[in-house]
Amino acid sequence: MMFAFVATSALSAGFLLLGSSPQGSRVESRTDNRQEAKDNAAKKAPKGGKRTVWNLDGGVFFATDGHLPNGSCFRLSGQVSSGDFFDGLRRVDDADGTTYLLRNQVVTHYPEELSVTLHLTDFPCSPDISDNAVRPPLTRELMGTLRLNFFWKEGVRLRPVEDSRQTSSSVRRLAPFATGVTADELVPRFEWNYAFTVTSESVPLTNDLVLIIENRDHKMAARVAAKL
């Protein structure tokens, strides 16, 4: 009744099938070249001998907005973690490139497994407060038509995650801002929460974990990358 995740391994868990999409080449062909160039530029060492240190305590956080053909819009946010792996993890960019330090030791690869949490909520389609159009809410039926795909991104290349598994899911009705009779007349809105494990053994830390949500027609509804 929630997401319908389609995976290479076709593992079924609760309401979901999750993992990496068998159609990675199709999704990759839609990659925005300008965005890829921007991502690659961000990973280059800073010029002029500068040294920048990024604190990765707590894991990697991400967020993006998505939309569906029926007019629904949503906010997708989440976190990538793995036990205490990210506690004290630092990314150092300097003239020699990018280095990851964990408790003063150089690390180059992810741990064997990552935990990924996702949250989806209805969200305005426009920041314009004069846009008062009523958008269709995210319903159980609508969520059941969506597909989540996990990929590893190296440069401009996407490759499907080898294995992933849903560990939990829940839905919570959001309290409306209005009260009384008006609140009873409002369309119910929900927060959809999911947790997964993603196999990451031998994957370099320079790879980004990319999440792509598609609708039933294989049109991209949202895309976001967890970048270290």
pLDDT tens by residue, 58-94: 999 999 999 999 889 999 999 999 999 999 999 999 9
pLDDT for residue 30 is more than 50: no
Q: How far apart are CA 193 and CA 118, in angstroms?
A: 6
Q: Which token pair is 133?
A: 């159009």
Q: How far apart are CA 188 and CA 77, in angstroms?
A: 21
Q: How far apart are CA 31 and CA 53, in angstroms?
A: 29
Burial of 84 (0-12, 13-18, 19+ CB in 10 A): exposed
Query: Between these two residues, 75 and 25, which has the higher pLDDT value?
Result: 75
What tens digit of pLDDT does each residue of 184-197 get? 556 778 899 999 99
pLDDT for residue 107 is more than 70: yes
Q: How far apart are CA 95 and CA 47, in angstroms?
A: 7
Q: How far apart are CA 66 and CA 80, in angstroms?
A: 19
Query: From the centroid of its chain, how far is CA 212?
Result: 7
